[in-house]
Structure 1
Amino acid sequence: MNKRMTCGLALGVALTGAAFAQPRISAQSIIVNPTPADLTVRVRVDRDPSGTGVPNYRAGENVTISTTVNQDAYVYLFSVDPSGDVTQILPNRLGGENFVKANTTAVFPPAGSAFRFTVDGEAGLNKVLALASTTPLDLSQLSTFRSSQDQFATVAAKGQQEFAQALSIVVNPVPQNNWVTDTAFFNVTAQTPVQTGSVFVGTNVPNATVYLNNQRLGGANVTYSGIRPGTYPVRVQAPGARDYTTTVTVRAGGTTNVNADFPLAVTPQEPGNVVLDLFRNLLGAFTGVQLQDPARSAYDQKVADLQRQGYALQNTRQTSGGYVGTLTRNGSTATLTVTRGANRTLNVQVTENTQYRY
């Protein structure tokens, strides 16, 4: 397990004496004293105070390690990651004492410290070994600080088997009733990529502003990406118009379209030219003296607006009341309807149907 620290403290315990039976290598505890000792040590990670489980952490999360001894002792902490890399957590160069008083619990990192012990390795089972000794241990043949910048010492042994054998050499000169070990386990889970979706908001007027979930996104006729899946309120503001409001459902990996159509205002500029201004505001350009049908002008204007948004015109048909067209873009089909109303008015409506595969 790779680790990141942003400041430090340590824990500790050591050994002395002559050796008898060889320490036993154990899959559960890595290395076990073959002789019962009065000294005991317990090591735990913060998500499993009982020490009997295997809690999960995600890469980037912080881990707190605690250790308790029943006698004054020096505690040495090591971590073994899923690839077999071994790191000496305590002692380290971040400061603090690795001497623990009897019947007290030492925490790493300690409360109020300016650094954190952070999971930053591959997914899989990690082990934390606590080795306690009533006298200090000589770790010079086991671990070294490779540079002056290293906060933690690197253990030369790789994998649990080599590490256990190296520890056996370290504790060999120490009387067997003066040292003991314990191991805690935790699992690092793989990061699950966050799936996001996109929203395209189109309008038929300039200078509109889009709000999603009451957060300002920016202008209209833009695709906004990186949105978490879910259903959100949408509000579109346009100068001089009532806000357009709706809801939108964002789906992972897809783009949801929102068409905010505002009524097209007609403001006569000169008395006597009301009809001409109406045609101009509806893109009612005329050739020579032949004026185009205002309904067709409005239809052509809206088609051009939708084409700028990426739609492709499929067909157009004239109806008794105006014009109807079908446009498509990706998996969406939009129907544009322009109808003549009372008092020389036009109604422009866009409806859209989007099909999603699941």
Structure 2
Amino acid sequence: MNKENMTKNQISIEEIRREELIEEMERTRFHRYWHQVKKDWPIYVMLIPVILFFYFFRYRPIGGIMIAFKNYDNYSDTVGNADFYGFYAFRYIMFGPQATAFWQAFRNTFTLSTYGLFFGFPIPIILALLFSEMKNEAYRATTQIISYLPRFISTVVITSILGLMLAGGNQAMAPGLLNGMFVRWGWIELGTPMLSKPEYFRSIYILSNIWESAGYGSIVYFAAIMAISPTNYEAAKIDGANKLAQIRYVTLPGMAPTLTIMLILRIGETLNVGYEKVMLLTANRGSEVLRTAEVISTYVLKLGNIGIGASAGSAAGVNFAAAADVFNSFIAMFLVLGANFISRRVSDTSLF
């Protein structure tokens, strides 16, 4: 009985001490926070520009979403004074006179992004694996720099290069380099303007995106490979694993968290096809190519600039353009949430 009483007393004393410790931590919580801030104040000072950037350029503009729900047809008026129209703009572009153009742009956006994800996502990973196998550091550094260069070239220059290389040519003028190769191989006929043909646009857009961003995108995966302990490879070699087996059972599992995060982020950008490259590639190419080239971003830009049945410079289409962009953003948000939910269920890695 004495031992039991002593044990109970010890437990009660430990509980009392634990409660006192919790109370003490709660009482000194703000003091500890302030002490941490004073200790690492340079880091918090560096954080101020980031906070200001996100406030002014990410969170503050969110109020502009209200344009999609109001009849904003006059630039001199304010969004707050405009009449509330509810979901009229959404119904108009999805099921009204603009339905055909909107769903064509949405379908093109989804198709381009899906093909880009399917074909473009593995290329940086393969490049990173190849870079990691290069033993000569000077050669590896040179090839990496060459693969990064297209990322730092202006989109205008990239599209100009593509226009020159894919020029159709005729009897008086030689075709572009790539166009001439395709003609020589019998893929197309001489004089075919590939950038003006809707059947070629998606391939040109996706392949040029891979060429432009694959090298730069391999940096993250290369860093993940370099972080894997060499002892894992040594153990695999002792077990008789060849190079492909080492990649399968050591490299890829070691890269899994990075691959998961990057895949979720890439899925979130599925419907985020920028208007710059599309408009530059289709400029002065005729309206036929827009059947496969028109995306949500170019649709929103044109709708906001010229309106619906209005002259250029009016605000008649701003609320409809905002509605299209809001719908696009909501779909992208649900794609991120769904991908993150699935990742959290099947693995231990997720964004949140």
Which has the greater radius of gyration? 1
Q: Same fold (TM over 0.5)?
A: no
TM-score (norm 1): 0.19
Greater per-residue strand proportion? 1
Greater per-residue helix proportion? 2
TM-score (norm 2): 0.20
Greater relative contact order structure (CA < 8 Å, 6+ sep): 2
